Amino acid sequence: MFHLFGALAQFERSLTQERVRAGLAAARRRGRHGGRPTVIDAEKLATITGALDTGATKAAVCRSFGIKRSTLIDSLARIGWSAGIKGQEA
């Protein structure tokens, strides 16, 4: 009896997962994207990388743009920016 209930539960779970995936795909087709919105847009990120390339520290950039250091580091990692390329230490 328990084996039958377990099989039914697995089947129901797989149906639920299939429906969720279909719903997310339909939302993507409509132009909707999930997740948290980005804090730093592309224009602001270009300005930030320019400031860092000219020698500004990460702390100074965070203060002037009003963002947290972890957000800055995550955004820079996402675009592949590295201070070691120019030989600067921040």
Domain range annotation of the chain: 1-35, 42-85
| Assessment of whether the complete model's pTM goes beyond 0.85 | no
Instruction: Categorize the per-residue pLDDT at 90 as very low, low, confident or very high, splitting at 50, 70 and 90.
Output: very low
11/89: higher pLDDT:
11
* 76: nearest Cα among 28, 88, 3: 88
For the chain, the average pLDDT equals: 89
